[in-house]
Amino acid sequence: MRLRARCHGRLLLMLLFLGIAHRLLLFHRLPSPSPALFRRSAMSGSHFSTPRMVVKRVLAKQQHEGQGAVVRRSIGRNELRNLDPFLMLDEFSVSPPAGFPDHPHRGFETVTYMLQGAFTHQDFAGNRGTIRTGDVQWMTAGRGIIHSEMPAAEGVNKGLQLWINLSSRDKMIEPRYQELLCEDIGTAEDDGVEVRVIAGEAMGVRSPVYTRTPTMYLDYTLKPGARMNQSIPESWTAFVYIVEGEGVFGSGDSSPVPAHNLLVLGPGDGVSVGNESSKPLRFLLIGGQPLNEPVVQHGPFVMNTPAQIDQAMDDYQHGKNGFEMAKYWTSRSVG
């Protein structure tokens, strides 16, 4: 199956409109900018001296989560508990009426990226929104969010949810949302390599997302025979998650790795990936600055000490310190 972010038909409508406008207004051809200029900017961020190699490989097997939902967990399973600053990565696959009904978060961020279908979130502050194929919701839970995350389209709704830890000084900040619609996500294409820049910078394109814990989140698609090179800050944790197809990561002489595998990258200041297969390869390249702080997790609460976890559970139970609305709120059915 091919999972391609096509911006849910909105882009198609836009192109149709532009096509009609073009004919009506009888635009003349403008001289196109020098391709050499484009090429140079597309190459930025692709130079590095020490390529990172794969130091660990984890296959994300299916498990049940939430209410009847199925996830493939990679980060967060026993073999890969905490990849500082990352806490969890789930590739979810959910058909109504399954989903993730009302639950709290404190102390970290959740990043939800839709691959297929739609998801509606509702929170205890009255926020409600639906993200569709190619859209991203970057949620900073901070001191507290209670929300529901439920599929909004018939059939299978797929995506990825990443949990990024917050530093001790940011754990109790005000909650915040950043929503990126598919068509607003910067993309670049060069030599069979396409990138969607969700956070950070690649091939001359920068994301507007503010990452409180410095993070890069890149969605690459490589045509058969294509190769990419991407620099990654030397001190950062970095990994790859294969969404579709198979690729050769790090060293050119290693064997191809298929979908649903997570590869932890070792020391170095960049990575090189090749598609030596006859089908498209799609993978996420994600990196983040490690926090180097103690992590104490109890389900959806991630703090630095056991006392802070006790406090979070007490705040949630009694509606205090950010969980005030817990007493008055429940989500409505999505329909």
The answer to whether the annotation marks 8 as part of a ligand binding site is: no
The answer to whether the annotation marks 105 as part of a ligand binding site is: yes
x/- letters, 12..51, toward ligand FJE (CB under 6 A) = ----------------------------------------
Of residues 299 and 306, the one with the C-beta less far from ligand FJE:
299
x/- letters, 225..264, toward ligand FJE (CB under 6 A) = ----------------------------------------
Closest separation between CB of residue 335 and ligand FJE, Å?
17
Burial classification of residue 212, based on how many CB atoms lie within 10 Å of its CB (0-12 exposed, 13-18 middle, 19 or more buried): middle
- Tell me the β-bridge partners of 178: 138
DSSP-assigned states of every residue in 209-231 = ---SS-EEEEEEEE-TT-EEEEE
Q: Does 92 bind ligand FJE (CB under 6 A)?
A: yes
Q: Which two tokens stand for residue 216?
A: 């890069």
> How many residues in total does the chain contain?
335
Of residues 68 and 224, the one with the C-beta less far from ligand FJE:
68
Closest separation between CB of residue 115 and ligand FJE, Å?
12
Residues 6+ apart with CB under 8 A from 143: 106, 171, 172, 173, 174, 175, 321, 322
Q: Does 103 bind ligand FJE (CB under 6 A)?
A: yes
Distance CA 263, CA 80 (A): 11
CA 318, 323, 326: angle at the middle one, nearest 5?
70
Q: Does 161 bind ligand FJE (CB under 6 A)?
A: yes
What is the binding site for ligand FJE (CB under 6 A)?
Answer: 65-66, 71, 90, 92, 100, 103, 112, 119, 149, 161, 299-300
